[in-house]
Structure formats: C-alpha cells, structure tokens
Structure 1
C-alpha cells in the first residue's frame, strides 16, 4: 500500500512530471483526483455537450459512426449505447507478456492525466473510477503487444476500458481475478461506458507514455551509475585522472559532458595532491567516458520535454471543445514524439552498455589492466591455475551488450499501413518504448557485471603495498558494495550476486551524486 503520509499526486489541471508518474507507479505516493467543483463541472461539460449533439443527431466520429475505416458507416441512435462495448470487445486480441505492476500503474496514470483535460467527452464518474483503480491497486492485465502507436494504443488500452466495465481480468491483492468479481467485492457497479468513453480511453498514447516515464527514470539513474563505475575503474586500472581536468572540459563546453567529468573529479578527489602518472593517455573507454555518457546527459532534457508534453496533453480523437461547442477531428493519438524519444534512448543506452563492456574487457585482460591478476581472480598462487574469476562474467556482458546494440534499430521507421489504409502512417511508439525498456534491462545487466568487477579490481589494487587511500565517495561506495559482494577469491557462481546487484540498480539503492 502507499504511504498515506506522503503528499498525494493530484490529477487535474496541474502539470505532472515524470517523477510524479514514477511515484504513483512505484506506490510511493497516492493518486488523487482534483476535487473542486469548478474542475468537476468542467469535466462534466464535455459529456453534456456530446449528449446535446446526440439529441440533434450530430455526426460524431466514433459516437454516431463506426471506427477507423468504418467512419463512413452511420450508427443509428438506437445502437450508439452499444458501440463502446463493441470497441473494447473486438480489440481484445493482445498477445505477448503482460505489463508488470509498475508499468500498468504508469499506464493508468498517463491515461487519467490525459482525460483530466476535459476534452475527451467523458463523465467525471469515469475519472473517479480510474483514480479508484489506482487507489485500490486494481491492475488490468494488459498484454504488451498489439499496438502500432496510432490510432494510439488501442488494443492494450482496451483492457483498461474492459475492466472498468467489469470484463476481463485484473491483478488485485496479489491474485489474478475477474474484474466483475473485484467490483462485487468492493461494492462497485461496473461502468456502462457511454458514447465516446471507450474511444477516449483507448484512442491515446497512454501505454507508450507510461512506459517512457519508467524508461526515462531508469536511464537517468543508469547515467549516474555508469559514471561511478568509471571512477572505480580509473582507480582499478591506475588511470590518468588528468583526463577529467576542469580546464580541459572548459574547451568543449557540452553541459552534460562537463557534468559527468565533474562527477568523476568529485569521486577521484582530483583536487587532492597529484598522484604519479602511470601513462600519458588511457584507452578511450576510460579517457572518453564523459564524452560517451555526456551525450545521454545532454539528451535527457529533450527527452523529458517530449515525454512530459505528451503526458500532459489531450491525445485522443476527436477532441471535444465543450466551451466553444465544437468537435475537432485530428490525429493527437499519433505517438511520434514518444517514438523518437524512445528510439533515441535505445541508441544512448546502447552506447552506455558498449562503454561499460569495454571497461570490463580491460579489467580482466592482463595486457591492459596494468598488473591486476588475470580475470581479476583473487586466488592464491597455489590455486591460481584452476581459478577463472570474472572470465565468464565478461562473456555474459559481451552477449548482453551485443543484444542491446542490435536493439538500437529504430522502431519508428517501420511504420505499417493498417486498418484498410485508414491508419496508413503509424508511429510504432509503443514498440519503441518496449524496446527501450529491453535495452535498459540489458544495459543494467552489463552495469551490474562491470560494477561487481570494478569493486573486485579496486579491492585487488588496494592490497598492493603502494596503494593510496580511496577518496571518500569511492570508499563509501566500496563499503556499501562490500556488504553484498565479498571479494572473489576462489571461483563461485555469481548469478545470485548479479541478480542482487540488478535489484539494487532497479530500486536506485545507492545514492549517486546530488
């Protein structure tokens, strides 16, 4: 359950941030609907305006017409009430894995925010029920595959519409249950979706946007973790700290690149008395780490802008302008900005995987690790010949990196004409978002491997007679890592430790830079 003492996230007229969605998705803060009467009247006005149009038998896409290519098919008023159920019913064809709990909450949050604009023609009761789903943690079981990202996330969002109507299945209190059963248990009456309400729920970008919020947060933490890993590896490899000199980076003033260099300087305490240099120039995966990671750092602002603008938009079709009594037909369900953001993120994250994989390759190779034992094994001489340390871990990291790099192919350029060529140019935004999360998963695995190896490398270096004390940030990190990851002396299976490290990464366990 969420902590009731935490400040709630208000869904209404206010701007929501990625962090707001993350707080709801992780159950760290409750979701509340704006409660003042002017807001509730504003929402109600859209549904009331639609009712007046129906009384005048106005032609409204998806209300008095069929959907998509079938927009030329008139729906008589006697069938208008049945149309929403047909929409979520025939879209019940999703396949693939189910979205996990965090992703599902992020989807519900993104859809709720879009509908709070009051430009979708839905009742306030529908918003209340969506908020109640979040409050009680009733999570529609949403298959992740089946959306081309325009007309929005129709098929996955049909599972939200259907469960609000008491159909299909939800996860509730750790159990897979029928939505109808959960409604009965809570004393609720399932919603009978009114004209436009199923379309308003489904014809938008909530799945790709919710997933993009999660991906952004993971990438932001990964940036800082990769920077800390680099600093540890500078120590383990006896690197040249002058590569991160402030005057050097003033000559090429990309803000994010300079921030990464500053973090590394902070970790290495470069303002302390200079250490003797072991070499003039380190290999690129060390020397150019700020230049690689800086691209991600500098891109996060643009990605945030794209994601948060989409999150805080009315993105279904048609748009109901009740104030001016107009129905505006357009294409706001198109997820092009999210598709670009997530395709870009895949590229950025793939480069982080490649950087860390190259650092790990240096650590285990006696030709390049400047005196560390082969494969970072800590075994004594008597058993050195049968111990192989991080040899297999490096192979695994190489495999994960290769898959992350293969995954950088942009999804958005693979638009497919669908639905009798009505949807003849689509965004593929949801596939891009799913790809980005997979790339992050793989890169986090590389980061886990490289972090544990870097920890081992620093431990080995610190055993040397001439070793200098670690700077405070790295000493503190080593102390925390030591609680979970003891030195590798004799070979042991490292899967459990890698999985624990992944858990630490995904929960942002280590505080990294302020």
Structure 2
C-alpha cells in the first residue's frame, strides 16, 4: 500500500508505487516494515523452513552448494556459514562511475521492496538493517558497470550486501566512509549473513528497477515540459492554435496525444483567439508536437505497470515459500521487463530531444521564424551585426540530440552468454536503464535550451509590441516571469553555460508545476 502522502512508507503491506521509491529521495520519506500478521508469518516461517531444510536434508542451492554453474559443488557443512560472505566478496569487481547518493538510496529501497514480499528466506536482522540504512542515509557506494541483468544485478548489489557486513564504502554525512565506521557512529552493528541471504540480496533486479523508477519520474516531467515548450514556441513563432483543436484530435483518439493537444490548446488561450495566424499550417515540429509527445504520454501507463510489477515482485532465486514449505528454483532475477521498459522509454524520450531541437532550429532561423531576429539576438541597431544570440546554443542542441538518438539502440538485444554458459541468455536491463537515464540527461539539456530560446522569442515579440502580455494565460505568463528572474534577455553575447546548467538543474528538480 502506497503511503507517500504520509512521512512513512510501509514495506510488506501491499503494493508500492514508483512515487514511493522516488519519495525516499525527493521527499526524504522514512521507511518501515509492516507489523501485519501475514507478513510477519511469511518472514518467520521462511527462516524456520530454511533452518529445517539445512538440518534435515543438508542440501540447498546456494546454501550448501556453489553458485551458478558451480551448483554441483558440495560445500562442507563446516564452511556453509562462510559461503554468503564469499559471494559478496568475489563480486566486488564493479567498475565505471559510481551511482549517485540518490540512486544508491533508491536501490536500497527497491531491494527492500523485493525482500519484503516474504519469499526470500531472509531474517528480521537483515530487513531491519536495510531500513536503518535508508532512514539514516548510510548509502552504499555502488559502481555503475558490471551487471548483465541476470542473475539480476549481482555485482552492483554485492556492494549492498558488503555494506550490511560492514565491509564496503558508503556515502555518510557528506563523506565516503567505510560502512563499519558509519555503523559505529550510528550505534548500529553489521550483520552476519545467514544461509541464502547473500543470494537474496544480490540475486535480483533492484538496481535496474530503482533506476527505472527514477527514469519514469523524469520522463513524466519531461513530457509535460516539452508540452509547455511547444506552447511557448508556438507563441514565439506566431503559430496557429487550430493545430491543437479538440475537435481535430477527437478523430484520432490516442488518449495521451489528446491530452497533450488539450494542454497546448489551453496554454495558447485558443478559445479566446479563434484565428491567431494567417498560416494554415505550421511546420511539423509545432503542428505534430502532440503526436510526438503523445507517444510517450500513451506509453507511460504500461511502462508504469511493468516497472511497478517488477518492484513488487520477489525476484531472487530460489524462491522460499516458508508457509507451504517449498524451495522453488527459477529465473525471477531476469530483468527482461525492465530492459524492455527502458529501451522503449529512451526511444520516446529521445524523440522529445529531436522535437525540441527542431523547434529551436526554427526559432533561430530568419527563413522560418516569422520576423524574429537572426539567432534570436535581442541586440539592436548596429550592435546586431556582431551579436550572435542563440547560434552556438542551437549547435549544442544538435550535438546533444545526436548523442541521445545514438543511444536509442536497444540494450536488451545484446545478450551475452556468460558464467560458463549457465547465464547463457541475459537481460542487460541495467545497461538499458543507465542508457535511458543518459538519454534523459541529454534531452533535459535540449529542453533547457529550447525553453530559454522560446522565452527569448516571446519577450522580443513583447518588446516589439507584437504580443500583449495580457493575452497570455496565467500559467504561461507566470512561467515567463519566473524564467525572466534568472535569465536576462540575451542582447550582448555572453557565455551561457552556467545559465544552461542552472536551467537543467531546475528541470531535474522539477521547479515548475506543469498541468494537473
């Protein structure tokens, strides 16, 4: 059950949402474990069943055997307790950049969500320590690279497991410190992993799922922002608001597309200005914007379904049914659904970058911008001959867009057989999620530039008396006023990198409330 509205998110009490996981970072929501009797019984009986199996049969995959293709290797009972620790250590080979503190914290929450399904055979000590890590901001330092997405996110999640043992580096109070040191300062104690607990933590999809939650949140906002930018660009270009008419869109009834058109229509005050352009048809980057943005809008519901189903799943191996007393061997660690969602999402998002890039290209070009100055420079008189306005920014947009489009190659089709052909078909879900976040970052950069360019164009129209501020809707007028507070009209050439970075940061922190 989602409790994002409150200060606490309860795990083990029903379905969690994307917003719950994001809220752990965005709203600094605290987490707790349910005291529901059914949940408690699942946890207790899972632990008891494993102990019983170990005592009576002495043979459990990953408990008394090696891992993966080493499952035929029998581990002596005298060494069984050491086996989980070795799993965490030999997977400590991740490379590349490190996930951010925010991403690391969401990874903890996503793993807690899976283990809280009650089918992983983990102890209360492990679950409670994960809760403490989230609530006390002790976040594992996790390398981005090394996961093939099945058996889950083994290598990156080994850094979560190692942290629980007090062995790995963590982000703590603004510094990178050893987990043991952070525990000592917080009055916590590392745990000793019980049989199966190393597998339970590592053999799952928590990294890709956490990244997917973050990507969804940012993509949803980017869709709304691109819709608003389209309205601003249409105003700056003296566009035809009939392109967003509700009757027009009623005959092609994709719900998300209709919603985008309605938002732009309202932003443009369409009903008060039945014909605001002498042109019958604007260029596709304006006229077809609802059709481009609408693809993402119409994809968001099924993307949410796939991400949240994965979030609310027990995705390790084997599955431990303590109540029914079953050990079920399978492949729930396979991240195919997240891989598909991320490969699909990055395609939709990259199309937003391409759309915005075409809009800014139109805004700066005197052959297409319907009377705006060259490169949107607000310089006047003879100063206009040496000032270049948004010329280089538009070039930058082309570069960022090209890189985003290049990354739309699906990661999920690049399966590699690994681990002595035991893992012979893998998902690449984490690579897909990382790609998607990079596409989002590049797209946010293009949106930032096009947002500033469209506002520049509108302000120039106002200065020239071609556009009356009173004709603007309150939402449009307020957004222009807000942006004008940190963005001085570009008259004389000046470096704009800091301005662009500031605007990207505002987008990523979702500064503007966009639509309901």
Give me the whole-angstrom Cα distance separating, in 2, the residues matched to 1:26 and 1:472.
28
Per-residue deviation, residues 365-404 of structure 1 (Å, max 9, x unmatched): 0000000000000001121111000000000010000000
Give the structure 1 partner of residue 500 of structure 2. 498
Q: Is the 8 A contact 1:93 1:146 kept in 2?
A: yes
Q: Is the 8 A contact 1:66 1:74 kept in 2?
A: yes
Give the structure 2 partner of residue 279 of structure 1. 279
The answer as to 2:468 corresponding to 1:471 is: no
Q: Is the 8 A contact 1:353 1:447 kept in 2?
A: yes
> In the TM superposition, what is the alpha-carbon distance from 1:35 to its structure 2 partner?
3.0
Give the structure 2 partner of residue 243 of structure 1. 243
Give me the whole-angstrom Cα distance separating, in 1, the residues matched to 2:108 and 2:97.
18
Give me the whole-angstrom Cα distance separating, in 2, the residues matched to 1:46 and 1:104.
27
Give the structure 1 partner of residue 57 of structure 2. 57
Give the structure 2 partner of residue 387 of structure 1. 387
SS of the aligned residue for 1:59 comes to: coil
Per-residue deviation, residues 234-272 of structure 1 (Å, max 9, x unmatched): 000011110011110001000000000000011011111
Q: Any residues of structure 2 matched to 1:19-418 within 5 Å, and which?
A: 19-36=19-36, 38-418=38-418
Per-residue deviation, residues 439-464 of structure 1 (Å, max 9, x unmatched): 00000000000000011011111122
Give me the whole-angstrom Cα distance separating, in 1, the residues matched to 2:234 and 2:473.
12
Give me the whole-angstrom Cα distance separating, in 2, the residues matched to 1:459 and 1:372.
11
Give me the whole-angstrom Cα distance separating, in 2, the residues matched to 1:308 and 1:41.
24
Q: Is the 8 A contact 1:6 1:28 kept in 2?
A: no
Give me the whole-angstrom Cα distance separating, in 2, the residues matched to 1:466 and 1:455.
14
Per-residue deviation, residues 315-354 of structure 1 (Å, max 9, x unmatched): 0000001111110000000000000000001100110000
Mean alpha-carbon deviation: is it higher for 455-464 or for 22-31?
Answer: 22-31
Give me the whole-angstrom Cα distance separating, in 2, the residues matched to 1:466 and 1:52.
81
> In the TM superposition, what is the alpha-carbon distance from 1:6 to its structure 2 partner?
4.5
Q: Is the 8 A contact 2:95 2:146 kept in 1?
A: yes
Give me the whole-angstrom Cα distance separating, in 2, the residues matched to 1:44 and 1:117.
13
SS of the aligned residue for 1:93 comes to: coil
Change (3 A) 1:304 1:34: same
TM-score w.r.t. length of structure 2: 0.97
Give me the whole-angstrom Cα distance separating, in 2, the residues matched to 1:159 and 1:28.
22
Q: Is the 8 A contact 2:13 2:36 kept in 1?
A: no
Which segments of 5 or more consecutive residues in structure 1 lack a partner in the other structure? Answer: none
Give the structure 2 partner of residue 456 of structure 1. 456
Give the structure 1 partner of residue 444 of structure 2. 444
Give me the whole-angstrom Cα distance separating, in 2, the residues matched to 1:473 and 1:267.
7
SS of the aligned residue for 2:105 comes to: helix
> In the TM superposition, what is the alpha-carbon distance from 1:102 to its structure 2 partner?
1.1
Q: Is the 8 A contact 2:417 2:423 kept in 1?
A: yes
Aligned-CA RMSD value: 1.2
Mean alpha-carbon deviation: is it higher for 135-144 or for 474-483?
Answer: 474-483
The answer as to 2:394 corresponding to 1:430 is: no
Question: How many correspondences in the alignment?
Answer: 511
Give me the whole-angstrom Cα distance separating, in 2, the residues matched to 1:57 and 1:169.
38
Give me the whole-angstrom Cα distance separating, in 1, the residues matched to 2:43 and 2:17.
22
> In the TM superposition, what is the alpha-carbon distance from 1:74 to its structure 2 partner?
1.0
SS of the aligned residue for 1:182 comes to: helix
TM-score w.r.t. length of structure 1: 0.98
The answer as to 2:514 corresponding to 1:512 is: yes
Q: Is the 8 A contact 1:318 1:329 kept in 2?
A: yes
Give me the whole-angstrom Cα distance separating, in 2, the residues matched to 1:86 and 1:276.
70
> In the TM superposition, what is the alpha-carbon distance from 1:58 to its structure 2 partner?
3.7
Q: Is the 8 A contact 2:458 2:467 kept in 1?
A: no
> In the TM superposition, what is the alpha-carbon distance from 1:180 to its structure 2 partner?
1.3
Which segments of 5 or more consecutive residues in structure 2 lack a partner in the other structure? Answer: none
Per-residue deviation, residues 59-93 of structure 1 (Å, max 9, x unmatched): 21111110000001111211110100000000000
Give the structure 1 partner of residue 483 of structure 2. 481
Give me the whole-angstrom Cα distance separating, in 1, the residues matched to 2:239 and 2:507.
25
Per-residue deviation, residues 179-237 of structure 1 (Å, max 9, x unmatched): 11122222322100011001000000000000000000000000000000000000000
Give me the whole-angstrom Cα distance separating, in 1, the residues matched to 2:378 and 2:422.
64
